Structure 1
Amino acid sequence: MVGGGKARRLPRVVRERQMLDAAVRSFARHGYQAASMDEIAELAGVSKPLVYLYLNSKEELFTAVIRREAQALLGVVAEAVVGRGGPPDERLWAGLLAFFSYAAEHPDAWTVLSVRARTQGEPFAGEAARMRDEITAFVAGLIGEAAR
């Protein structure tokens, strides 16, 4: 609290981002089953009931994490390729570099996407498979362009 007044309320989008960031850390460290909503709430600096109010259940929270992190990864790769002119082989290289750079710079997100989501069964494995299929199709298109 500042000046003895009430603590400032954060916009929902900011609070939700805090919760998702905390969930990424927890799911990466412990896996889906062992991650606790108590720890996620504590890491986010919110109450456990608020996590449930915003994200409904642990399953929906994990799904939201997978979707958010997959979209972030795909966005970085697309931006590296689409925002770049030049020959297709250079664009392919830029996309691959962006992919691996993102994975290296966001190890918790990468762990969630490459290990945790894939090994938890449905519906999580399906979310991970959709991301993998989208990246595969994107890269295949670049390879096809480079081959022409």
Structure 2
Amino acid sequence: MARLTKNYIPLNEFDEHDNRMWEYMYKLFDETVEKSGIQDNDKLWEQLSRPQKVFWAFLAFNGDTDNGGVDQFVYNRPKFIYRVLETWEELKIEELKTDYDFILSELKKRKNKNGMLKSVLKLEEYYYDKEYKRKIYKIVSDYIESNIEMFAIIT
């Protein structure tokens, strides 16, 4: 189990399934949200700090994308569509920001919001790669650690 400190963990010791990012999700997001007692997601969103919002948007994208692809995320989480773009900007992940922006552009041009978005294929080519995920999880964990004081409470 990860400790909630700013200790450095080398990338080669950072495992996809047993790592800081998941521990932070359980401790700093799930437990904090539960303790807040706020049931309404819109009200909860308003009470979160910017780093907490970034983490929640990342978790929403990552969870839906891993489960059913970027299309599933886009159609299941409409409130998070633009929040995720801001997340990639905040985390300074240019490749994801650029490719995700193409997805948003395609979505805006569509009259019919159903059907697979062709632009998701480029992002999905690398997003599922284990080594790429390790890097993304490390970026997210490092971001949390650099803002750790903003994760313990909901205002």
**TM-score, normalized by length of structure 1?**
0.28
Higher helix share: 1
Q: Which structure has more RCO (C-alpha within 8 Å, separation ≥ 6)?
A: 2
Task: Give 1 or 2 for the bigger CA radius of gyration.
Answer: 1
**TM-score, normalized by length of structure 2?**
0.27
